[in-house]
Amino acid sequence: MKYTEEHEWLLSEGDIITVGITTHAAEQLGDVVFVELPEVGTEVSKDDEIVVIESVKAASDILAPLDGEIVEINEALADNPGSVNEDPQGEAWFFKIKPSDLSPMDDYMDEAGYKDFIG
C-alpha cells in the first residue's frame, strides 16, 4: 500500500489501483454524510478533483493520484457514506483506476513514511 500527502491510500492489484482515504483523514473529517464519486469510464489526470466528500465539519475533494481511467466505483458509499468513518482503509474505498503509467506509484510514501508524515 502507498500513501499520498493528501491522505489517500493506494492499493496496487496488478494493473488496477484501488483508492480511498486514510483513517487519519477520516478522523479529521468527522462524520461523513455524503460522497460523490466519478462515473466509470471517466478519463482523469493526476490532481483532478474527482471525488467530493461532505462531512458535518467540512467538504473535501479527493484528487486523482494518477492519470488513467476509472474502472469501478464503490456504489455502496451512496447509501452508506458513514462507512468512510467505520472502515476507511477497507470496505469504504472510493474508486479503482487503471493508470496509463504505473511508475508514479514509486513517488508515494510507504506506511512508515506516511506515519512519519502525520507524525
pTM attached to this predicted model: 0.94
Average pLDDT, the chain: 96
**What are the residue boundaries of the structural domains of the chain, listed by start?**
2-101
CATH class for domain 2-101?
Answer: mainly beta
pLDDT over threshold 90, residue 8: yes
Close Cβ partners of 7 (under 8 Å, ≥ 6 residues apart): 21, 22, 24, 25, 28, 118
Specify the pLDDT at position 32. 96
pLDDT over threshold 90, residue 58: no
